[in-house]
Amino acid sequence: MTILDRLDEVFSIHDGERKLVMLLFLQYFCMGFAAAFTQATAFALFLTRFSADKLPVIYIAMAVVITLLTLAYNAVGERVSFSNRLKVGVGGQLVITVGFSTGLAVSDASWLIFALPILFQIIVLFGNLTFWSLAGRILNVRQGKRLFGFIGAGQWLAIVIFGFLMPPIVSLLGLANLLWLAALGVLGMFLVMSVTLRTFGHLVATPTDTAPRRQSEPDKGKSARGQFTGNRYIMSVFALTLLWWVGFYFLDNIFYAQAGAQYPGGDELAGFLGIFLGVLGVVTLFSNFFVSGRVMGRFGLRTSLLVLPVGLTIGTAALVVLDVASGPLFALFVIAVLTKMWGMGVGFSLDLSARSVVYQPLPAALRTRVQTFADGIIQPLAIGVAGVAMLAITTLASSTSLPLSVGLLLVSVALLALAMVVGAGYRTTLVEALGKRRLATADLVVSDAASVDILREGLHGEYPGAVMYSMRMLAEVDQEGLVDELPTLLKNEHSDVRRYALDQVHELRVDSAIPAVRECLADETSPAVAAAALRTLAYLGDVATVLTHADTEDPETRVAAIAGLLNNPQLTDTELAAAAEGNRRLAQLVEAESVDERAMAARVLGECGAVFGLEPLAKLMADPDASVRREALRAAGRVKAPQLWVTVIEALTDRSTRSAATSALVAGGESALSQVARALAEPGINRDQMIHLIPVCERIGAEQAIEILVPFVGSDDAQVRSAALGALSRCGYREEGGHDLTTAIHAEASHAAWLSAASGDVAEIDGSELLQSALAEEVGTSQGRVLSLLSFHGDAAALRRAAVNLEHGTGDKVAYALEIIDIETPRPLRSVVLSVMDDISPEERLERLARQFPQEPVGGHSKLAELAANRLGRAGSWTQACALHTAGVIELSELATITSPLVDSPSELVSEIAAWLQQAHPSQGERAMLSIIEKVLVLRNAGIFAETSDEILSGIAAIASVRDVAAGETIIEMGDAGDTMFVIASGVVKVHNREHEINQLGTGGVFGEMALLDPEVRSASVTAIEETQLLSLDQQSFFDLIDERPEVARGLLKLLTRRLRGTLADLAEMHDRVSP
């Protein structure tokens, strides 16, 4: 390990950050160089020519000058990019410093010496403003907490070096000539910053930097003042800044008054100030290097903000006590020096880092404006306030320093209170930065005739949503008026309105509307509306009309008719005869040879409940056709008969019916929950069964469901634990003394360490990349479990949002998420939790966890055999499958022994890959079929699955069919209906429109993917050019998978969004080309 590597480790500089951090450090070093020589020159000459009681006047002058310069800086900043704004700021400092240096070289006029402290304030304020704006933009919130302390040490390293060298330099060059050295420091700032912007400019750019702001744009016309005053957090930060600087200048005045009294000579005072700055620099340097980052990391922002005001309060209280007791002047001097040392040593190290972090949750562009306003407007305002207050105090009580000390004590106490407010607001703002939204809705309260008239008018509006809303409201406040309008509404041009009007006729039992419903049915083109009309007529007793539609060809209408016959009131002989006819027709459907008719029977039974017994439904649930079984399971969910739940639970083991069975159990609610609990308590239940039943408990979500899930939190099986923890977190479970959080977190950290060690062990095996990826995904799953555990004790909503941003966010979103996790984690567990959660390599994670969770090094082949056998269940099914495949590829000697018992594994995935390996080794080339692993590798190339993890792809691979196509064979015919997507595993196909070739696709190519979502006739034909192997996925299987794994839908939405944006961009480009 090199010296630089050791330094990186000591100062927590991560891979790829070294150059950026060193440039920022060097820029701040140059600023410290300039500030040290400016401060020594300015205050030594000022206090020699003028007394300390003139300092309040110069503070007021500072406020005016700095405010004007800031307004000018902001005006320029509105018209240039962020990078150029910084260059203007530092370039302006250089021009002003050179101007003062030249002035002192030719004159020692009193006005020039009087203005020197203003120059010092310009160097400090604009130097910090430009530097921390750059650092805050270029580093995210997590990097800021870790690195701001080290970067901030650059200034103090310069102050230490040149503070101790100040006396000989003053003797050598003379006091007035020190400003030339300050100008040299500002020039260094400018050059280093230019290199940083040129090298890392991509990190500071935001969309708002691509063009100057135009006030005509609505979203940018809002004034900064409006944005600031409407944000309580920003206003609290401004208040904190105001009090911080008021306190700083009160303390400054006290310090310089005591220093001037002790050292009346100019050179003597400059020498003391140099030594003071040197000692201060050592203290601040030590704090920046070794204290700030650790305190921020261990105790968080809220505690870090309190350190300075607590110390100031103690020091100022001591000054007040000495003043009241008329203590020795030297004691006052010592206390003033120590308090000043604390104020600056902590204020410009730990507190400065903390105050820089408070801006991080704000959006980048707003963050820059807030920082500029705080440093350029609020700080000068604070200087002015301090100046006016001290001028009034010294005028009224110039003989004693007690009023100033009392004033500083009051400011310190107020600063302490504000630090608490900002610390609390920081967390809330972080949550908002993660995108947390709250939606509140309220129903309209209709209490007067005018409102009713408006709703009646709404029934004739052109927007379906508004019409249906008006119907719903009138059903509550004016049923008679709504009944009069329903016949007209049944003729509305929108099918949604007609359907809703039929529902109102049904709910309100409007017998007078029967003729209108018949007319609607006769003219209806929408099967869904026709079905609703039939159900309504049956409910109203018009069974004769319903019976005429019992043999219609449309399945939806036929089901509605037969169900209507069965569900009619059965009060008259005609209605009883109609019910008997419906029962006869249902029996025919149950026994029909047609799959479609048996599926219709299941749907009818779902609408009729258990009135006609459960035998027909139980028979259909055992039907040989999967589509019939799915319809029967959905019907069971509506019937909610306890006798059927065992059969429904058994259907979870069949991939083709799993989604329908899950939906049925959820629809069954607490009725199904007791049977689910019994199934989960069965001694022989396997991992896959538990993983399928746990989400059912979550989706039912009753208190009983939570009680069922809690015992699984301590499961030895990581996948079962993941399912249980995630379900409990989403159910809003709160821990009140059950399992021990520390023990559970340590168990997850130990598992993460084991996974990281396994990744390192197998890395030495060629061809283990897929296995390493699987192990990395398992670490991600372990991270999810940690977040679930934390959510039982902390802010569950914020932690869930953090989890989403960790998985799908980038840049600042990830940093904000980690910061939320840091805040929500109990202090003793932070180190362990962040070692698991940080985005670091397996090697680094293992190194950070190894002290508490040591792992024995194991050879690659031994670890591969352990993962493949997975006897302890520590690896997930997908990881085990990848290990088996890798073992097959390298022909591991123990492979046969490992795979033999796994053929009967309860995991479908593991069982299938083990059986495939026994057929033929992956290295032999010829196999009867593609393995699931090979299917996953093919599916990876499909853009529709670009956002999908390998583990989820394994589920898609399991339902994807393999199709071998001969050269010249047509796969898709233009004009045919289709609901299947194809991915090319090998070979080449051509896409053509009749005889014209449109495109050729090779291995990894995808076609027909939109048919998964919206089955339409094919717009082109696809024919194999050579022998081709395809993976095909039909819509029903895909929808079942989405129901089971919503992550697939998320990835699909991202893909469609990108395509839509790309299309819009293309259209905009075309528009620009054709526009004059």
Lowest mean pLDDT among 52-61, 186-195, 780-789, 843-852: 52-61
pLDDT at 415 over 80: yes
Fold match between domain 3-205+230-433 and domain 932-1070? no
Q: Give the separation between CA 417 and CA 421, rounded to whole angstroms.
A: 7
Query: Which residues, other chains included, contact 981 with Cβ-Cβ below 8 Å and sequence gap of 6+?
Result: 942, 944, 1006, 1007, 1008, 1009, 1011, 1012, 1032, 1033, 1038
What is the band of 221 on the pLDDT scale with cuts at 50, 70, 90?
very low
Between 830-837 and 741-762, two packed helices, what is the crossing angle to 10 degrees? Answer: 40
What is the band of 46 on the pLDDT scale with cuts at 50, 70, 90?
confident
pLDDT at position 70: 83
What is the band of 801 on the pLDDT scale with cuts at 50, 70, 90?
confident
Lowest mean pLDDT among 60-74, 250-264, 540-554: 250-264
What is the mean pLDDT of the segment spanning 277-284? 78
Nearest to 149 by CA among 35, 312, 296, 340: 296
pLDDT digits (tens, 9 = 90+) for 339-389: 988 988 888 778 877 887 888 778 767 877 888 788 778 888 888 888 888
What is the mean pLDDT of the segment spanning 926-940? 73
pLDDT digits (tens, 9 = 90+) for 426-475: 877 776 665 543 333 334 445 456 567 777 888 988 889 889 988 988 88
pLDDT at 189 over 80: yes
Mean pLDDT, all residues of the chain: 83
Q: State residue 987 phi and psi, 5-degree precision.
A: 105, -175
More confident residue, 724 or 77: 724
pLDDT digits (tens, 9 = 90+) for 605-655: 998 876 667 889 999 999 999 999 999 999 999 989 899 999 999 998 888
pLDDT at position 398: 58
pLDDT at position 270: 66
pLDDT at 921 over 60: no
Assess contact for 923 and 888: CB atoms under 8 A: yes
Lowest mean pLDDT among 234-238, 871-875, 917-921: 917-921
pLDDT at 809 over 50: yes
Assess contact for 180 and 32: CB atoms under 8 A: no
pLDDT at 52 over 90: no
pLDDT at position 608: 85
pLDDT digits (tens, 9 = 90+) for 1004-1042: 888 887 777 777 788 889 999 999 999 988 888 878 777
Which residues in 793-807 are b (16+ Cβ under 10 Å) and which e? Answer: ebbbebbbbbbebbb
**Percent of the chain residues topping a pLDDT of 90:** 28
Q: Give the separation between CA 199 and CA 18, rounded to whole angstroms.
A: 13
More confident residue, 221 or 564: 564
What is the band of 925 on the pLDDT scale with cuts at 50, 70, 90?
very low
What is the mean pLDDT of the segment spanning 4-26? 81
What is the band of 201 on the pLDDT scale with cuts at 50, 70, 90?
confident
pLDDT at position 28: 92
What is the mean pLDDT of the segment spanning 710-717? 86
pLDDT at position 220: 43
Query: Tokens 């005739």 label which residue?
Result: 449
Q: Per the structure block, which two tokens stand in for 265?
A: 């000579």
pLDDT at position 676: 92
CA dist 458 → 163, 504, 508, 592 (Å): 79, 16, 20, 48
pLDDT at 738 over 60: no
Residues 3-205+230-433, CATH architecture: Up-down Bundle (1.20)
Nearest to 26 by CA among 146, 140, 190, 169: 190
pLDDT digits (tens, 9 = 90+) for 555-604: 999 999 999 998 888 878 888 898 899 899 999 999 999 999 999 999 99
pLDDT at position 445: 47
pLDDT at 716 over 90: no
| Sign of the four-CA dihedral 980, 983, 987, 988 | positive
More confident residue, 694 or 276: 694
- Burial level of 604, CB count in 10 A (0-12/13-18/19+)? buried
Query: What residue spans define the domains of the chain?
Result: 3-205+230-433, 734-857, 869-928, 932-1070
Assess contact for 110 and 18: CB atoms under 8 A: no
More confident residue, 452 or 943: 452
Q: Which class does domain 932-1070 fall in?
A: mainly beta
pLDDT at 681 over 50: yes
Q: Give the separation between CA 881 and CA 885, rounded to whole angstroms.
A: 6
pLDDT at position 833: 92
Lowest mean pLDDT among 391-405, 553-567, 865-879, 881-895: 391-405
pLDDT at 736 over 80: no
pLDDT at position 1026: 94
Assess contact for 337 and 276: CB atoms under 8 A: yes
More confident residue, 988 or 326: 988
More confident residue, 83 or 398: 83
